Amino acid sequence: MKHRLFNAVKLLMILCMLFILCSCASTVDDLYQLPQLSEQNFQLQEQMDAILNRGASYSPPSSGSHRQSVQLQDLNGDGTREAIAFFRVPNADKPLNIRIFSYTNGEYVESAKIEGEGESIDSISYSDMDSDGHMELIIGWQIGVDIKLLTIYTITDFQPYLVQSTNYTDYSLCNLNNSGENVFVVRTNPSSMTGEAELYTLRSDGEMESDIAALSVGITAVSRIQTSQLLNGVNAVFVECTTAEGMITDIFTFQINEFTNITGMTSDPALSGTYRKASAYCTDINNDNVLDIPVLIPINTSSDSTTTYYATRWYSYSSSGRQSLTMTTFHNNTDGWYFVLSDTWLDEISIRRETSPGTRSIVFSVNIGNNTTEDFLVISALTGDNREDNAISGDRFILATHGEVSYTGEIVSELVLPFEVSKELVSDCFELIYSEWVVTEK
């Protein structure tokens, strides 16, 4: 009896082990198994292959957020995503075409086609401009080297209707007038160094309205378009433009039924409050959901330095165009950090750079009279195998580590300074910077 019971238990244990091993093997197999396409995806791919087999080729948008050859979007608000595919058909009168496939009765069916001329499809955006639950298609076409055409289509029962067509340099979606999402279009004329912004609003009756405001005089190109709130909560569009000597930012709002550039319109770009002689982009420097505009001012440099260093004053704006200083910083773009400066520091300090193997430093000095200075703070970026040991050698204290770089501070003066300097203050004022708003001196 005991022997039979022992055998039964032994058999049960073997079966359990086999079950566990089979489960593990199944799990391992699943890990390396290729993902299985759903039946509807297979059917959609068959539709794509049929078009490609007739001589077409994929021609996806070359810029913007949507660059896939086949994109899925719910265009009519029914909870089912349509497929939008982008093709080029050789030797056709209109070689570029965008095909929309709706999912009906368990399969994708081609329901609409938009054709266009030109070299390529520049971009596409999807927006419910009139808040009716249906997406409009905003399509940019690259007609020639310096010629782009923007078209806006409404889609009703999968029939596309062209409601606007205009040339453009750049565009963005925004919400300035609380009438649904707007299309913000910028056009520039490099030869005359002029430009304009146009705001398009789709009314509920299907009619398109537009408002125009001028860009600042003297611009040569548009570098970036961003949207943000202003200090008093008004929505705005920030247009970053290059000029012959630097950069300028125009801020556009829609207030009291008027589309306005609240910062531009000076005859000389250098007279604008947003002008800077450097490539420096707007950013929300203090994370309050309001974009700040950088303006550069020179810092005193050591007598033995041939480089001019700059402090960056970051200004935020209200909808009336009034500017308010957010903070002042020194950016060390080479080493990837910035330091918040008080006005007291700014009036008294000078800066120089020192380098040695594995160490790149910025040395802050204070004017002590008689045209002499005293070093009081060194901020260093340490690299190499010994960086961790070097970061705590002497009076250094660690500010941050990023990748294979250690950042340290070191207070090197025992003088009574005209402003506060402490480890805590230096740590609080030190931050790493991000590439999209790097300041580059010219």
**Which residues partner with 140 through β-bridges?**
123, 150
**Which residues partner with 159 through β-bridges?**
156
Q: What CATH topology corresponds to 168-275?
A: Lipocalin (2.40.128)
Over residues 426-437, the mean pLDDT reads 83
Residues sharing a CB contact under 8 Å with residue 309, sequence separation 6 or more, in sequence order: 298, 299, 301, 330, 351, 441
Over residues 402-418, the mean pLDDT reads 93
Distance CA 339, CA 364 (A): 11
Could you report the per-residue pLDDT of 89-117, keeping only the tens digit for each? Answer: 999 999 999 999 999 888 899 999 999 99
CA 176 to chain centre: 20
**Band of pLDDT at residue 438, cut at 50, 70 and 90:** very low
Could you report the per-residue pLDDT of 391-407, keeping only the tens digit for each? Answer: 999 999 999 999 999 99
Average pLDDT over the chain, rounded to whole? 88
Could you report the per-residue pLDDT of 201-219, keeping only the tens digit for each? Answer: 999 999 999 999 999 999 9
- Kindly report, as residue ranges, where domains of CATH 2.40.128 are found in the chain: 168-275
Q: Is the pLDDT of residue 28 over 70?
A: no
What was the pLDDT predicted at 266? 60
378 neighbors 429 (Cβ within 8 angstroms): no
124 neighbors 61 (Cβ within 8 angstroms): yes
Q: Is the pLDDT of residue 251 over 90?
A: yes
What was the pLDDT predicted at 305? 66
What was the pLDDT predicted at 414? 87
Could you report the per-residue pLDDT of 128-185, keeping only the tens digit for each? Answer: 999 999 999 999 999 998 899 999 999 999 999 999 999 999 999 999 998 889 999 9
434 neighbors 280 (Cβ within 8 angstroms): no
Could you report the per-residue pLDDT of 339-366, keeping only the tens digit for each? Answer: 999 988 998 999 999 999 999 999 999 9
Residue with the larger pLDDT of the pair 348 and 378? 378
Residues sharing a CB contact under 8 Å with residue 139, sequence separation 6 or more, in sequence order: 98, 114, 116, 121, 123, 124, 150, 151, 152, 153
pTM of the model: 0.84
Tokens at 53, concatenated: 């087999």
171 neighbors 183 (Cβ within 8 angstroms): yes
- The DSSP secondary structure of 186-236, one letter per residue, reads EEEETTTTEEEEEEEEE-TTS-EEEEEEEPPTTEEEEEEEEEEE-TTS-EE
Burial of 51 (0-12, 13-18, 19+ CB in 10 A): middle
Over residues 25-29, the mean pLDDT reads 42
